[in-house]
Amino acid sequence: MTARRPAFARWLDDKNEITRMFLAAGSIPNLVNLAGGLPEPSTYPVEELAELARRAVAEHPGDALSYPPIDGLPALRDALAAKYATPALRLTRDNVLITSGGMQGLDLAGKALLDPGALIAAQSPAYLGALDAWRPRAPSYRPFFPDRNDFDPDAALAGAQFGYAVPNFSNPTGKLVGRDARAAMVCAARATGTWLVEDDPYGALYFDAAPLPSLQELDAAHETGDGPYDGPVVYMGSLSKQLVPGLRVGWVIAAPEMIAALTVAKQGSDMCTSGLSQRIALDALEGGAVARALPGILSLYRARRDALCAAMDAHLRPWWDWEVPVGGMFVWAVARDPAMNTDALLDVCMAEGVCVSPSSVFDPAGEDRRALRLNFTLNPEDKLAEGVRRLAVATEKFVARG
C-alpha cells in the first residue's frame, strides 16, 4: 500500500487560470484573442539579433557561456546606469540588478519585503502578473486610484510594506498617471518611509504625448549629497516590450541596500540571468538595435490602437465606455450597466470566438466584474475589427438573457 503524499502548498488553491487561458488562446482555431498582452512578433529584428547572438558566443564566450555574476554583467549594469541617469538622478552599477525578465523583479520584491499577511498599497486595478508573483506570500492589499480627485497618497502608502504603481499606461487600464500625481506619490513615499515599486514595462510606448518623468526621476530631486541614488523608488524595466520578450532580460534600479537585498533573493531563485541573453541585450543597447526597433513598433501599435478604438466606436457604444490611451497596449472598457458580470460574459465571448480579459482578475479581492481589458498590439487591424464585432454580438446576447 502506498502512503498518501503530502498536499501541495495551500496558496496553489488560489490559482489564476486566466493567464494560462490567455497564452493557450493562440492555439484555438479562428479565435480572436484580445485578452493577452503580447508584442507583435513581426517587429522583432530577427537577423540583427541572430548576428548579435553569434558575436556574443564567438567574441565574448566568457560572458555568454559561463555563469555570470548574480547581480548581472558589470558592463550591462554600467550601460543601464548610464541610460537612466540624469543630472539629478546619479546612478552607478551598485544601483542596478539584472533580472530574468520584468516578472522576476516583482517576485524578488515579494521575497525581500513580504512576510505572510503584509500590506501592499497597489494602484488599482492591478497587474495580474504582480498579484500572481506575490500570491505565495498571502499579502493583504490596500487599493489606491491616483487618477481620482480624492487621491490621498499619504493615506494610501502609510503602513504598507511597499507601494506598487504602473504610472505609464497601466496594465490593465492603459491610463497614464499625471505629473502632479507622480510627484505626490514620491513625496508620500518619503514622508511615510515606504518603498515605492515603479513597474515600467510600457514606458517606451508613448504614441501621442511627450514622455513624463519617471517616479524615480522626480524623487531624485529630493536627494542630498553627491552619492548614488538612495531613495525609496524601486524602478523596474525590461526589453520585452521595446525589443523582444524572449531574451528574458529585465532590471531593477534602486538604492544600493535594496539591490543588495534583491540580489540575495535572486541567488536562491535562479542564481543568475542567462549570460548569453545579457550579452545580446548589452550589444543591442549599445549598438542601437533597441533604438532602431522602437519607431516601427510605435507606428504599428498606434495604427492598431486606432483601429481597435474605431471598431469599438462603431459597435460597442450602447454597452461600454472607454478612454483612448495615448500609449501602451490596452484599452479598458467599463460597462454602462453596473450589474454587468464580465466573468459570465467571458463564456459567451468564447462561444462567439473572441477572448477578452474580465476585470475580476485585476482586483485582489476578485469583486470588480464590470470591465474588460482589450489588447491591440498582437492582432492586425482587420482582426481587431472582427474581434470587436464578435464582442458586440456576445454582449448583446448576454444582455438579452437578463
CATH says 11-43+294-401 is which class? alpha beta
Q: Judge whether residue 229 has pLDDT over 70.
A: yes
Percent of the chain residues past pLDDT 70, beyond the cut? 97
Q: Give the pLDDT band of residue 19 (cuts 50, 70, 90).
A: low
Amino acid 67: pLDDT: 97
Amino acid 90: pLDDT: 97
SS3 of the chain: helix, strand, coil, percent, to 5: 45, 15, 40
d(CA 33, CA 270): 32
Q: Judge whether residue 27 has pLDDT over 90.
A: no
Comparing 11-43+294-401 with 46-287, is the CATH topology the same? no
Out of 3.40.640.10, 1.10.1660.10, 3.40.50.1110, 3.50.50.60, the CATH code matching 46-287 is 3.40.640.10
Answer yes or no: pTM beyond 0.85.
yes
**pLDDT tens-place string over residues 170-196:** 999 999 999 999 999 999 999 999 999
**pLDDT tens-place string over residues 51-107:** 999 999 999 999 999 999 999 999 999 999 999 999 999 999 999 999 999 999 999
User: Among 15-24, 295-304, 311-320, which stretch is predicted with the lowest mean pLDDT?
Assistant: 15-24
Q: In what order do the strands lie in the sheet with 371-375?
A: 320-321, 330-335, 371-375, 357-358
Q: Give the pLDDT band of residue 12 (cuts 50, 70, 90).
A: confident
Long-range contacts of 108-113 (CB under 8 A, 24+ apart): 108/252, 108/262, 108/265, 108/266, 108/269, 109/162, 109/197, 109/234, 109/262, 110/134, 110/136, 110/137, 110/139, 111/265, 111/268, 111/269, 112/258, 112/261, 112/262, 112/264, 112/265, 113/161, 113/162, 113/195
Q: Give the pLDDT band of residue 369 (cuts 50, 70, 90).
A: very high
**Residue type present at position 236:** M
User: What residue spans define the domains of the chain?
Assistant: 11-43+294-401, 46-287
φ/ψ bin of 125: left (φ > 0), alpha (ψ from -120 to 50), beta (otherwise)? beta
Amino acid 11: pLDDT: 86
**pLDDT tens-place string over residues 230-283:** 999 999 999 999 999 999 999 999 999 999 999 999 999 999 999 999 999 999
Query: Could you tell me if 80 and 286 are in contact, meaning their C-beta atoms sit under 8 angstroms apart?
Result: no
Query: Could you tell me if 126 and 363 are in contact, meaning their C-beta atoms sit under 8 angstroms apart?
Result: yes
Q: Give the pLDDT band of residue 204 (cuts 50, 70, 90).
A: very high
**pLDDT tens-place string over residues 280-301:** 999 999 999 999 999 999 999 9
8 or 340, higher pLDDT: 340
Query: Could you tell me if 50 and 181 are in contact, meaning their C-beta atoms sit under 8 angstroms apart?
Result: no
